[in-house]
């Protein structure tokens, strides 16, 4: 694709998160929204109107097979429920369309490996919805890491603490009883992915514990895991959704020459400093979809397509994040047994 071409983009799945994708696409000068698909055309039409698109100016679909065979569609965001991500990704990849799929991208190893194979075979550009990679605080933290501010990293800690009812997430009343997966799978996947991203290394083993407390929960709402990385470093990730408190996403890095705690950092390079320095920024401490940095994610995805390069958050990269998630589930069910990952690479 020429860098001067406008990319025709579509959305498949018209739930809450799709609004963020659509608005970001509409703000990007290098693409145009040509289609929206949902289970019903009425749902697709309502989503178009919500974001200010005249439904008559685009094509509305209720079939993914029909959408992916639209010659005007070059790329699409898959925003369907997570249980459908695998089958949708394979359908899109087989049609040769570039794709961005929301997280978690798969719910088991079989789905994950089938998706990875389909995307690799198709040779398309792919990206996964780990949107916190584009949060301003995270971008600054990664820049400091790459600049050597902290020396060699020794330890990383990331914590996803989010009671969606307390934070006002739509439709989250009595969310514990309605969980269809564990806290680590549903939101803690951001913590696992961000730990890998900041450490710059894959996870090779995990040991995890979980509890439901006195709650009648179908899946664990409180989980924590110690992880070991291929570079020899260690870390901790947690996911908790039962507590009654404002949303908190902790990021901690410890290195041979300094450390970071959210937007506070300390380093040998800060000659004369005796305490933490603070950089003003936007932190990831909100669970609201409207707070997520979709512009950064979509702009990155579009840039990758225009320049013919793969995203740092592509499906192949996400394999290790999801292998770690599945290993955490297995370890927690085995009372913290250490689980080594068999990397599907």
pLDDT 10s digits, 309-332: 999 999 999 999 999 999 999 999
Instruction: Please give the pLDDT value at position 171.
Output: 80
CATH 3.40.190.10, domain 7-131+295-313, yes or no: no
Instruction: Please give the pLDDT value at position 169.
Output: 80
Any idea where the domains of the chain sit in the sequence?
A: 7-131+295-313, 133-286+322-340
Using CA atoms, how far apart are residues 264 and 254, in angstroms rounded to an integer?
12
Instruction: Please give the pLDDT value at position 43.
Output: 97
Closest CA to 193 of 290, 325, 293: 325
Using CA atoms, how far apart are residues 202 and 252, in angstroms rounded to an integer?
17
Higher pLDDT, 174 or 105: 105
Closest CA to 101 of 313, 335, 254: 313
pLDDT exceeds cutoff 80 at 3: no
Instruction: Please give the pLDDT value at position 345.
Output: 37
Cis bond upstream, residue 104 (ω within 30): yes
Residue 60: both structure tokens together: 């509305």
Instruction: Please give the pLDDT value at position 291.
Output: 87
pLDDT exceeds cutoff 90 at 168: no
CATH number at 133-286+322-340: 3.30.360.10
Instruction: Please give the pLDDT value at position 214.
Output: 83
Per-residue model confidence as pLDDT tens digits over 46-64: 999 999 999 999 999 999 9
Per-residue model confidence as pLDDT tens digits over 67-114: 999 999 999 999 999 999 999 999 999 999 999 999 999 999 999 999
Global pTM? 0.96
């Amino acid at each position: 694709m020429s860098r001067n071409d406008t990319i025709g983009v579509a959305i498949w799945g018209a739930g809450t998160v799709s609004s963020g994708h659509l608005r970001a696409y509409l703000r990007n000068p290098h693409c145009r929204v040509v289609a929206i698909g949902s289970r019903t055309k009425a749902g697709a039409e309502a989503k178009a109107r919500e974001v200010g698109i005249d439904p008559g100016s685009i094509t509305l679909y209720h079939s993914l097979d029909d959408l992916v065979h639209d010659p005007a569609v070059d790329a699409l965001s898959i925003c369907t429920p997570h249980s459908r991500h695998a089958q949708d990704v394979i359908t899109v990849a087989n049609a040769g369309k570039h794709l961005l799929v929301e997280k978690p991208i798969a719910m088991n190893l079989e789905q994950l490996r089938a998706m990875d194979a389909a995307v690799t075979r198709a040779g398309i550009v792919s990206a996964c919805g780990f949107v916190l990679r584009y949060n301003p605080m995270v971008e600054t933290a990664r820049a400091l890491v790459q600049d050597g501010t902290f020396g060699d990293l020794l330890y990383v800690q990331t914590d996803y603490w989010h009671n969606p009812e307390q934070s006002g997430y739509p439709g989250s009343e009595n969310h514990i009883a309605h969980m269809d997966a564990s806290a680590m799978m549903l939101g803690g996947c951001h913590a696992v992915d961000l730990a890998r991203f900041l450490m710059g290394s894959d996870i090779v083993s995990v040991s995890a514990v979980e509890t439901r407390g006195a709650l009648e929960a179908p899946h664990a709402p409180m989980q924590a895991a110690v992880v070991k990385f291929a570079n020899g470093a260690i870390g901790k990730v947690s996911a908790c959704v039962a507590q009654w408190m404002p949303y908190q996403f902790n990021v901690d890095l410890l290195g041979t020459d300094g450390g970071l705690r959210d937007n506070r950092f300390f380093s040998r390079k800060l000659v004369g400093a005796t305490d933490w320095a603070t950089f003003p920024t936007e932190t990831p401490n909100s669970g609201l979809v409207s707070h997520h940095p979709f512009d950064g994610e979509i702009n990155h995805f579009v840039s990758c397509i225009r320049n013919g390069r793969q995203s740092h958050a592509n499906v192949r990269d996400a394999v290790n994040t999801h292998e770690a998630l599945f290993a955490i589930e297995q370890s927690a069910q085995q009372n913290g047994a250490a689980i080594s990952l068999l990397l599907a690479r």
